[in-house]
Amino acid sequence: MMSDTPKPMSVLIVEDESLIAINLEMILEDLGYAVIGPVMTLRDLDKMLSGDFRADAAILDVNIAGERIFPYARRLDQLGIPLVFASGYGASGLSDDLAHHPVVAKPYTEQDIAGMLGRICPA
C-alpha cells in the first residue's frame, strides 16, 4: 500500500566544522528536511559525487579544511541541484561563475536557513 505522505526534500550538508555541521543538521531536521551528510571532507564529497548522486538542495561551506568548495559546487550545479553557500566571507568570497547562488552568512539562524531554502527550492 502506497503512502500519501510526501517524501521530505533532501538537503546535502558540506561543512568541516563539526559543531556547525551538527547545528545545521538539527535545523534542517526541525524544518522537516531529510539530511544527506554532513560531509566533512572534499575526498568524501568527491566519492559521493562519483556515484548516482541526487539531492533536492545543498548547503556548502565555502572553505573545507583550507580548500575552496568551488569545483564541487560546479559539479552540483551541473547536476541541477540548487545551492546555498554558507560563509563568513559573504558573497564577495565566491568565484564569479558561482556568484548568482545565494549566500547565508555565518553565524546563521534557523530563519536564515528556512528563508534561503525557500528561495531556491520549489514548494
The Cα 85–Cα 55 span in angstroms is: 15
- Please choose, from the candidates 32, 8, 6, 11, the residue with its C-alpha nearest in 3D space to the C-alpha of residue 21: 11
Question: Hey, what domains does the chain have and what are their CATH numbers?
Answer: 10-120 (3.40.50.2300)
The answer, yes or no, to whether residue 4 has pLDDT greater than 70, is: no
pLDDT digits (tens, 9 = 90+) for 23-76: 999 999 999 999 999 999 999 999 999 988 999 999 999 999 999 999 999 999
- In tens, the pLDDT along 71-99 reads 999 999 999 999 999 988 777 778 889 98
